[in-house]
Amino acid sequence: MLNFVLRRLVIAIPTIILISIFVFTLQKLLPGDPVLAMAGEERDPEVLEYLRNKYRLNDPIFIQYINWIGNAVAGDLGISLRTNQPVFELIMEKLPVTVQLAIMAIFIALVIGIPTGILSAVKKGSVIDYCANVIALSGLSIPNFWLGIMLILLVSVKWQLLPASGYVPFFDDPLASISVMIMPAFVLGTAIAATLMRHTRSAMLDVLKSDYIRTARAKGLKERTVILKHAFRNAATPIVTLTALLFGELIAGAVLTEQIFTIPGFGKLIVDAVFNRDYAVVQGVVLVTAVGFILMNLVADIAYVFLNPRLRSLP
């Protein structure tokens, strides 16, 4: 198992390097000059030159990349051109907000998607299966921004049950934090639940046709044991992969939902950085997001080993 994990880590290292080159190069292709935005309206040439020298923007691109990636490995992602605050501090300030939102959304998605997918597969061709598929297609089709706005209008404005926006740190007041985050988490979770439901149903249908399932039933095992212990356990492998990837996608892609509910997370940070041409922040956020995706894939690979005992014997 250790060799299996080490091989995955070795593959991840060149992937991260390629991603860092890609991120840095594309960032340089963006229109506009961040120094002009920093200098204000007067734009004194001496000030512009001072800022370019301070942030080493006059160096060749290759040298800029080497300096940036070397500092990033040491935990230094640079200084924000707008706030003059270390990028790492900004990320550590905003990342827990989005991680909490992603965890709540994934929890909602798992609670809705997996049981519905299992039930739909077991009751294939029935009214339950038909309704589950209709709900799943609806979840995939309804835009997040529309659902978020409708929830704010109904739940917050009309019924006044939950706050419409804002953020409360979880460890400051857990109940208030959950009440603020539950609506955006539901908006994100419903779309993911639809995806999980479809994949769970497909995986379960394949497994339920297997010979060992027929053997388990022939032995007289309870149907619940056959479905949950034998069928679902073997169908869970692709679901684990999908869940890991969806969690990484939530970290990177909750921009619109965070904007609608005014959540000060990763989404707002990256949007503000792009509009302000704050290159260091954009590079840092995208790099951290990419590394997060790779780590989630590694977690999924390790989960494979526990779910499939045959992988434990691999050299």
| 30 vs 289: CA distance, rounded Å | 19
Q: What's the predicted TM-score (pTM) here? A: 0.82
Q: What string of pLDDT tens digits covers the 315 residues of the chain?
A: 667 677 777 887 888 888 888 888 877 776 666 677 666 666 677 777 777 777 777 778 888 888 888 888 888 888 887 778 888 888 888 888 988 999 999 999 999 999 999 999 988 888 988 888 888 888 888 888 888 899 999 998 889 888 888 888 888 888 999 999 999 999 999 888 988 998 999 999 988 888 888 888 888 888 888 888 888 888 887 888 788 878 877 876 677 888 888 888 887 788 888 777 777 888 888 888 888 888 887 777 777 777 666 655 555
Eight-class DSSP state of 79 = B
Query: In angstroms, how far is the first alpha carbon of the chain from the final one?
Result: 8
State which fold the 95-277 domain adopts: MetI-like fold (1.10.3720)
Output the six-digit token pair for 256.
């619109």
Alpha carbon separation from 88 to 53, 252, 259, 278 (Å, rounded): 22, 16, 22, 14
Going by C-alpha positions, the residue among 74, 73, 72, 38 that lies closest to residue 55 is 38
